[in-house]
Amino acid sequence: MRILVVAATSGELVPLVAKLGSASPRGDGLHRYGHAAHVVDVLISGVGMVATAARCARVLTLAPYDLALNVGVCGSFDPDLQPGAVVHIVSDRFAELGAEDGDRFITIRELGLLGDDEAPFTGGALVNASPPANAALGILPPVRGITVNTVHGNARSIADVVRRFEPQIESMEGAAFMYACLVQKVAFAQVRAVSNMVETRNRQAWKMADAIGHASETALSILDHV
């Protein structure tokens, strides 16, 4: 099986690639590993939705993959999802796609520029309706996410985005990865570990090392169960 693993930064995959062994560089941020009987290509896409969409689209166009797996960290809006928790994001949105009208935010759909069910969207979201049948993936809680250019750290903007979309987590890349996979019709999963609660910025409360470790452990388990 040919598998693509995508992360925004190399630091998010350090524990995972240490278990995969030696790599063969393929260029453009792509490295190839062997794991069991599988070919595992690891793509470091860069931070943010633009870099992620562009690099994922290019790689998915150049070669066929049986599975694409996005691994990384996220912030949590949900008090039941504390730092260290690993989740499977099955629905994601571009939260900032729209326009401001005074204090009101108008979504791209309310502007009439995109339909709720215009491909690859479903009900205004990017939805993984058919995630891979995988025992390790199946035990993770399925959650709703948003993808943003600016991570939230202001009480008023946090309350506003929660009211509008009811997200459980946020990242800077997830929806871009899902968009590319849906367009290319590749089986995929977005898996993240919570590094922090979404609140007024408080780096002392972050558990980044724990989140990276848990995300990598889960990704390896998913690869073992493919």
Q: What is the CATH number of the domain that holds 61?
A: 3.40.50.1580
Other CB atoms closer than 10 Å to residue 161's CB: what's the count?
Answer: 21
pLDDT digits (tens, 9 = 90+) for 159-210: 999 999 999 999 999 999 999 999 999 999 999 999 999 998 888 888 999 9
Strands 24-27 and 142-147: unpaired
Range of the domain at 100: 2-224
Query: Cα separation of 45 and 202, whole Å?
Result: 27
pLDDT given for residue 191 in this prediction: 98
pLDDT at 26: 81
pTM of the model: 0.94
Q: How many domains does the chain have?
A: 1
